[in-house]
Amino acid sequence: MDRAAVDPRGQRRRSDLTLQFRITFRIPGARGPSVTQTVDLLAIAAHRDDAELTCGGTLAKAARAGHGVGILDLTQGEAGTRGDAGLRAAEAERAAKVLGVAVRLNAGLPDAHLQNDEPSRARLVELIRATHPRVVILPFPVGRHPDHRIASELGRDACYLAGLAKYGAAGAPHRPFKVLYALAYREDPVKPSFVVDISDTFETKLEAIRCYASQFDGARAAGEIFPTGQNLYELIRVQSAHYGSLIRKAYGEPFFCNETLEVQDVLQLGVQSL
Ligand SMILES: [Zn+2]
């Protein structure tokens, strides 16, 4: 990420604070690990493996930089064509370890039936308050799979509601500072707001994706993300190289955010123009 494009001072302070005062506690009603800790960066995704595919390199990079990183999968993948929920849970745990992700939670919402309804928002508010992220990565709001679209809207609404003191859910009010949308693999003509250089973590991203053997071994398509029928790992490499080329780096992951990004010093701007 172009350090001049965000507020690195604020991020650094938040990270130090989290590392010093990590808190563990139980999240009532949450499936998966019952004890968690606060994180700096939280990726919220509809299905196990979505986060690895859309922002795995960015998560690994943030973890390597010393930030607390978490993934919140909304469903357990019980409606998937390949594998079952138990197998996908084990795969997800292995992938999280590869990425260096400290916390991986599962909201236990119904796969292929996600809804942005009150019980789902309350569950997410609880988990966002518990993990206390400064930055949240969501799926892009447009997508072929209804779960992806709804996960985006549900995640965004829950981030806002988590900050309301009188919203009826467990935990102290907390509203994430920044919401980013993972843009990888979208066909919409949306120019990324920025691209994260994942050259140093690209192989780690691939290794994490390979943990999902039940989904990808021998597969020639992966739903919305890779519908072309070509070799999946080769496609990931080509697409990541394309986004990397936009910032003159080997590999990159694109993101969109609604706000205008701030620059303090134009002389620190990266990416050569001419
Ligand atoms: Zn998905």
Please list, in sequence order, all residues whose beta carbon lies within 8 angstroms of the beta carbon of residue 135, skipping any fewer than 6 positions away: 11, 40, 41, 42, 176, 177, 178, 179, 180
**Distance between Cα 78 and ligand 1 center (Å):** 12
- 196-205: average pLDDT: 98
- 26-34: average pLDDT: 43
**Distance between Cα 103 and ligand 1 center (Å):** 19
What span, in angstroms and rounded, lies between the C-alpha atoms of 67 and 40? 6
Count other C-beta atoms under 10 Å from residue 132's C-beta: 22
Q: Which one-letter DSSP state was computed for residue 66?
A: T
pTM, two decimal places = 0.85
pLDDT in tens, 224-265: 555 566 788 888 999 999 999 999 999 999 999 999 999 999
Q: Residue 26: its pLDDT value, please?
A: 41
Q: Residue 5: its pLDDT value, please?
A: 35
**Distance between Cα 53 and ligand 1 center (Å):** 9
Q: Taking Cα atoms as reference points, which of 90, 126, 134 lies closest to residue 107?
A: 126
Q: Residue 185: its pLDDT value, please?
A: 81
**Distance between Cα 73 and ligand 1 center (Å):** 10
69 DSSP β-pair partners: 41
Q: What is the CA radius of gyration of the chain?
A: 18
**Distance between Cα 240 and ligand 1 center (Å):** 18
Say yes or no to pLDDT of 19 above 50: no
Q: Which one-letter DSSP state was computed for residue 226?
A: B
**Distance between Cα 199 and ligand 1 center (Å):** 24
Q: Residue 21: its pLDDT value, please?
A: 32
- Range from 77-91, 135-149, 214-228 carrying the lowest mean pLDDT: 214-228
What span, in angstroms and rounded, lies between the C-alpha atoms of 171 and 126? 6
**Distance between Cα 16 and ligand 1 center (Å):** 33
Hey, CA dihedral for 130, 66, 259, 264, is it positive or negative? positive
**Distance between Cα 46 and ligand 1 center (Å):** 5
**Distance between Cα 225 and ligand 1 center (Å):** 8
**Above pLDDT 90, what percent of the chain?**
68
Hey, CA dihedral for 11, 245, 251, 210, is it positive or negative? positive
Which range is most confident: 14-28, 151-165, 226-240? 151-165
**Distance between Cα 147 and ligand 1 center (Å):** 7
What span, in angstroms and rounded, lies between the C-alpha atoms of 165 and 224? 37
